């Protein structure tokens, strides 16, 4: 899926992006990649409001995400995005900074329904997973099993013959597979086809619900329809919201004062979805 920029604006875009992240351009290294990944995760919200409105306005064959427009939305507090917006945009930044980046795809709901990136460093290959709606603040080594825990949420990555499986911990069922990532370069046409599928009402969940996730070092905040859940080291809290409260919550809890969340709720209603609390 194309995520190119005009050459004359590329350097200015990189500078704006780094300023937004509060990061500096450094020589590629694992330490520098960790800093960039944590800054990205802490600043950009995982959300499907942009997808809902894109499906409503453009239908099932929307234009591919443009990294300039995506960054503009982030800076203006109008939105974050899903994997197919966040991962390619962050990958474009890494490539501009001199990293060797390979786009990869994964299966969550269907093949190629998820996007991430592999980064080659002297220390080996690392998965950069910034568009998963989960607190993956650091690159993950792909040649070994890694377990992660944050605010009571637990994850595991395990290699499996050219794949990297992401498991999530369930208190009743134990480890449950969530995403199967292929550790080879993804086909751009397949990525675009999967991206379009996400915009078909009734097929995928991202035009059938309202989702926002903000991950910071001290908490994970999740909005699912009208339920707001917050995970912190001391435990989990959950509250039910009214539709009218959504804009203020988007501003105060997710740092997105200008995201058109009520417009997205109206679009969902046009798709036959009425928001309800869990």
User: What radius of gyration do the chain's Cα atoms show?
Assistant: 18
Rounded distance between C-alpha atoms, residue 127 and residue 120, angstroms: 9
Q: What pLDDT sits at residue 278? A: 67
- What is residue 103's DSSP assignment? E
Confidence (pLDDT) at 2: 42
Distance of CA 1 to the CA centre of its chain: 16
The values of phi and psi at residue 118, to 5°, are -105, 140
User: How high is the pLDDT of residue 203?
Assistant: 86
Res 265: pLDDT: 96
Say which DSSP state 201 is in: T
pLDDT tens per residue across all 278 residues of the chain: 544 455 546 899 999 999 999 999 999 999 999 999 999 999 999 999 999 999 999 999 999 999 999 999 999 999 999 999 999 999 999 999 999 999 999 999 999 999 999 999 998 999 999 999 999 999 999 999 999 999 999 999 999 999 999 999 999 999 999 999 999 999 999 999 999 999 999 887 899 999 999 999 999 999 999 999 999 999 999 999 999 999 999 999 999 999 999 999 999 999 999 887 66
What are the domain boundaries of the chain? Answer: 7-203
pLDDT value, residue 42? 97
231, β-bridge pairs:
220, 236
Is the separation of the CB atoms in 237 and 230 below 8 Å?
A: yes
**What fold is seen in the domain 7-203?**
Arylamine N-acetyltransferase fold (3.30.2140)
pLDDT of residue 204: 79
pTM: 0.94
């Amino acid at each position: 899926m194309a995520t190119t920029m005009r050459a004359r604006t590329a350097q200015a875009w990189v500078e704006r992006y780094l300023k937004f992240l509060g990061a500096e351009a450094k020589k590629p290294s694992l330490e520098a990649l960790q800093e960039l990944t944590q800054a990205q995760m802490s600043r950009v919200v995982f959300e499907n409001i942009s997808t809902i409105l894109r499906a409503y306005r453009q239908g099932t064959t929307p234009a591919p995400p443009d990294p300039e427009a995506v960054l503009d939305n982030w800076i203006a507090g109008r939105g974050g995005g899903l994997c197919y917006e966040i991962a390619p945009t962050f990958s474009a930044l890494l490539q501009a900074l001199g990293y060797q980046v390979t786009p990869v795809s994964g299966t969550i709901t269907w093949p190629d329904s998820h996007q991430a990136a592999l980064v080659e460093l002297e220390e080996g290959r690392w998965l950069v997973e910034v568009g998963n709606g989960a607190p993956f603040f650091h690159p993950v080594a792909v040649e070994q099993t890694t377990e992660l825990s944050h605010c009571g949420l637990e994850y595991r990555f395990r290699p499996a013959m050219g794949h990297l499986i992401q498991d999530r911990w369930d208190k009743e069922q134990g480890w449950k597979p969530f995403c199967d990532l292929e550790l080879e370069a993804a086909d751009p046409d397949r990525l675009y086809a999967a991206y379009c599928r996400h915009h078909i009402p009734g097929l995928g969940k991202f035009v059938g619900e309202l989702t926002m996730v903000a991950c910071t070092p001290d908490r994970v905040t999740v909005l699912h329809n009208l339920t707001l859940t917050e995970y912190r080291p001391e435990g989990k809290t959950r509250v039910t919201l009214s539709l009218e409260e959504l804009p203020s919550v988007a501003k105060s809890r997710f740092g997105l004062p200008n995201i058109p969340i009520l417009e997205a709720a109206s679009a969902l209603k046009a798709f036959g979805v009425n928001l309800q609390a869990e």
